[in-house]
Structure 1
């Protein structure tokens, strides 16, 4: 009976450890995903800024070369 209880305790301990390891792994993966999302957001902001600058430059260049209608 005591041997059965020992085996049950060992098994329960291993199951609990596996559960903790799994949760830790999930947390690490979630952190990496959040980091990747933040990187994509910052790249998006940088591209948006470049597009706005490019559009403003193109507009001013177009307006400066556009012939005046009189």
Structure 2
């Protein structure tokens, strides 16, 4: 366990920040999408339809109008 902690702490800070940013970007792309009507960032609809809080129109996961 101590060897794992030392290996993680020995990585340079920019590499660690880049890895954290890449993981955050991947999670964000899975959970959010753009509203096809107004273009705002909204939660991704996993099934069915959701309503955009900005324009109030409904959208689904695969719809790409904009």
TM-score, length-normalised on structure 2? 0.37
TM-score, length-normalised on structure 1? 0.35
Structure number with greater CO (CA < 8 Å, separation at least 6) is 2
Looking at secondary structure, tell me which structure has more strand per residue.
2
Largest Rg, 1 or 2: 1
